[in-house]
Amino acid sequence: MQDQAAGIRPSGPDHPWWRGGTIYHVYLRSFADSNGDGIGDLPGLIARLDYIAGLGVDSVWISPFFKSPMDDFGYDISDHCDIDPIFGTMADWDRLVEAAHARGLKLIIDQVYSHTSAQHEWFQQSRQSRDNPHADWYVWHDAKPDGSPPNNWQSIFGGPAWTWDARRRQYYMHNFLSSQPDLNLHHPAVQEAIKQVARFWLERGADGLRLDAANFYTHDRALTDNPVNTDKVAPRRPVEFQRPLHNISQPETLSFIEELRHLVDSYPDRFTVAELGEAPFSMVADYTQPGKRCHSAYNFAFLYQNKLDAALPAQVIEDWMQAAGGAWPSWTFSNHDAPRALSRFADGPETPARAKMLNALLLCLPGTLFLYYGEELGLPQAHIGFEDLVDPEAIANWPHTLGRDGARTPMPWQSDAPHGGFTQGRPWLPVDPRHLALAVDKQQGAEDSTLAVTRALLAIRQQEPALRWGDVAFRDLGPSLVALERSHGNRRLLCLFNLVEAETAFTLPDGTRWQALFTGNGASLGAATLPPFGFLLAEET
């Protein structure tokens, strides 16, 4: 049995470490810089592992740290089995594995298999000719007779999903930036090369693989045009004018996912989670068939919502349960690709009280949870001026979105230190001055800080089977209140949340006798109302 004080509950065939666990998402560039170059790195992460373990989470998911020209900040990989010097060395990775495991923390790494950097050796060889050994490792096609691209597919970042290569005199496909050519995962040699990458990191101590853009692995070989998206209102980007029926989410992907799962299962106690974007739950369920494909899916159901009302959590969870066929869900409110939840959901001030309530709600949901770095501090979306933007998507869509840069700014460690104690140099993104008042050192000793409340709730989740693994039932107590019951065996909990900045009346359900387990923002089990953003957890007696 592992030390529960380290934040890990005992693992077993029915309850492996990831099932119901909480995974702390570290955007490495922005977490902790050890050498003053303004970019977070592996040694910086190692130095902050005690902080992460002290939160009471089970695992750490680290954004890509592999060799890359950084056109998409690491999601454009030029060598899958080497570490970019800005992040450290392979020796640093080995030290991280040892240090994390010593603290009871598992490590999940991002694996980008749908595409590579154009600087990857595979692509550099592929573009040389049409008959070299890597010629078909990427998606190449002749131009139409008029010289235009092979079909109408659009890239996520804007413009056609095809770029002309003068050397091969063909177009290559890219669902993202033109410097991120898509791998041809229909090709057996490519599949084997990708499995070798997975083996490499599993052998080096990775406990889990997050499969980035997993539904982008294969494409329709006939290159059929995508149909018009008649449901989209006021699209911001060309890709939104189409329904992506043929460039992504092809059935051949599922057989490759099964091979990856078989490979991962040959190593003990490992985990795979697929990123599937805004795919419908029926499709997500295909990728997460229990025992056959991914263990779970990194779910976007809350990520791109701009309003949180009482109906949303119940609708999302119930839709999942109806579609999932027993598959295990994962939930998150924020990540590196979406504006922070405190700002997205705010219909008023971005207050610590609202932040505490949001974290409490997330930590009471069923499934595996992803907590984005800084959410435990209640960070709002950072304000980034156009002159400081670095993300290609943010620059292209400015000012119509909050952008991704504002969710990626440095972690504030010390309120009175330059750049919040993140770096001694100039940070790659500026620190929002509002974040300094929320820095770790300001919250560490404050009993009712967002950090303290989040730690306390994580400790409860660690010790409560009803929260980690239990069933869920939602109760309708009004448009401003989320009420859910979590039960496991003879243990039953009530979780109640006031979503609005106004006092709201409530009545406990069923006349059941309840005893307060945790109260937040001035809530009281014996009162007839919940204060603004008040919340409570109660146990049946």
Residue 148 lies in a domain: no
Q: Over range 483-494, report the average pLDDT.
A: 96
DSSP state of 411: P
- In this structure, the answer to whether residues 218 and 72 fall within a common structural domain is yes
- Are 296 and 319 contacting, i.e. CB atoms less than 8 angstroms apart? no
For the record, the structure tokens of 344 come out as 């997205």
Please give the pLDDT value at position 401: 62
Same domain, 445 and 518: no
Nearest to 403 by CA among 413, 418, 390: 390
Helix (H, G, I), strand (E, B) or coil at 261: helix
Same domain, 312 and 405: yes
Residue 7 pLDDT > 60: no
Indicate the range of 5-14, 157-166, 455-464 predicted with least confidence.
Answer: 5-14
> Catalytic annotation on 192?
no
Instruction: Count CB neighbours of 397 within 10 A.
Output: 17
Is 159 within the bounds of a domain?
A: no
Number of domains the chain is built from: 2
Domain end: 423, 458, 493, which one?
A: 458
Q: Could you tell me the CA-to-CA distances from 460 to 14, 56, 333, 368, 468 in Å, in that order?
A: 20, 9, 20, 15, 10
Reply yes or no on whether the pLDDT at 68 is more than 90.
yes
Which range has the worst mean pLDDT, 309-318, 394-403, 497-506, 528-537?
Answer: 394-403
The yes-or-no verdict on residue 178 having pLDDT over 90 is yes
Q: Of 431, 458, 485, which marks where a domain is finished?
A: 458
Do 450 and 475 share a domain, yes or no? no
* Residue 469, helix vs strand vs coil: coil
Q: pLDDT value at position 12?
A: 60
Q: Could you tell me if 161 and 173 are in contact, meaning their C-beta atoms sit under 8 angstroms apart?
A: yes
Whole-structure pTM value = 0.95
- 161 neighbors 152 (Cβ within 8 angstroms): no
Taking the CA of residue 238 as centre, how many other CA atoms within 13 Å lie in the half-sphere pointing to its CB?
14
Same domain, yes or no: 68 and 212: yes
For residue 4, name the pLDDT band (cuts at 50, 70, 90): very low
Considering the candidates 58, 84, 110, 212, report the single residue annotated as catalytic.
212
**Residue 348's pLDDT is what?**
80
What pLDDT, on the 0 to 100 scale, is given for residue 349? 85
**Which residues 6+ apart lie within 8 Å of 453 measured at CB?**
356, 359, 360, 520
Looking at the predicted structure, is the pLDDT value of residue 232 above 80? Answer: no
Count of C-beta atoms within a 10 Å radius of residue 105: 24
368 and 219 in one domain? yes
Q: What is the pLDDT of residue 11?
A: 52
Domain end marker among 409, 433, 458 = 458
The residues, any chain, with a CB within 8 Å of residue 242's CB and separated by 6 or more, are: 152, 153, 154, 226, 227, 228, 229
Pair 368, 301 in one domain = yes
Give pLDDT, residue 525: 92
Q: How far apart are CA 351 and CA 258, in angstroms?
A: 44
Tell me the pLDDT tens digit for each residue of 378-425: 999 999 999 999 998 788 777 776 579 999 999 999 999 999 999 999
Cα dist. 226→129, 358, 402 in Å?
Answer: 29, 38, 28
Per residue in 259-287, pLDDT tens?
999 999 999 999 999 999 888 999 999 99
CA distance 378 to 472: 26
Same domain, 48 and 69: yes
pLDDT above 60 (res 239):
yes
Q: Are residues 480 and 450 in the same domain?
A: no
Q: Is the pLDDT of residue 10 over 80?
A: no
- Asked whether residue 2 carries a pLDDT value surpassing 70, the answer given is no
Residue 486 counted as domain residue: yes
Q: Are residues 28 and 113 in the same domain?
A: yes
Does 430 share its domain with 494?
Answer: no
Q: What is the pLDDT of residue 480?
A: 93
Q: What is the pLDDT of residue 352?
A: 97
Tell whether the model's pLDDT for residue 3 goes beyond 70: no
- Determine the pLDDT at residue 394: 80
Alpha helices in 213-366 (DSSP H): 252-265, 281-287, 311-323, 341-344, 352-363
Does 177 reside within a domain? Answer: no
Q: Is there a contact between 356 and 363 (Cβ–Cβ < 8 Å)?
A: no
Percentage of the chain exceeding pLDDT 90: 87
Give the pLDDT confidence score for residue 402 in this predicted structure.
57
Residue span of the structural domain in which 80 resides: 4-117+188-458
Please check whether residue 58 lies inside any domain of the structure: yes
- Read off the tokens for 502: 């106004």
Residue 203 is among the residues annotated as catalytic for this protein: no
The mean predicted confidence, pLDDT, of the chain is: 94
Q: What pLDDT digit, counting tens, does each position of 129-142 carry?
A: 999 999 999 999 99
- In this structure, what CATH number is given to the domain that contains residue 202? 3.20.20.80
Is 277 found in the same domain as 194? yes
Other C-beta atoms closer than 10 Å to the C-beta of 393 total: 20
Residue with tokens 């419908």: 280
Is 173 a member of any domain? no
* N-to-C CA span, the chain: 29
- Residue 105, phi then psi, degrees to nearest 5: -100, 135
Residue of 33, 92, 182, 275 with catalytic role: 275
CATH of the domain at 476: 2.60.40.1180
Residue 1: is its pLDDT beyond 70?
A: no
Within a domain: 151: no
> Is 169 inside any structural domain?
no
Q: Which of 122, 58, 64 is nearest to 275 (CA)?
A: 64
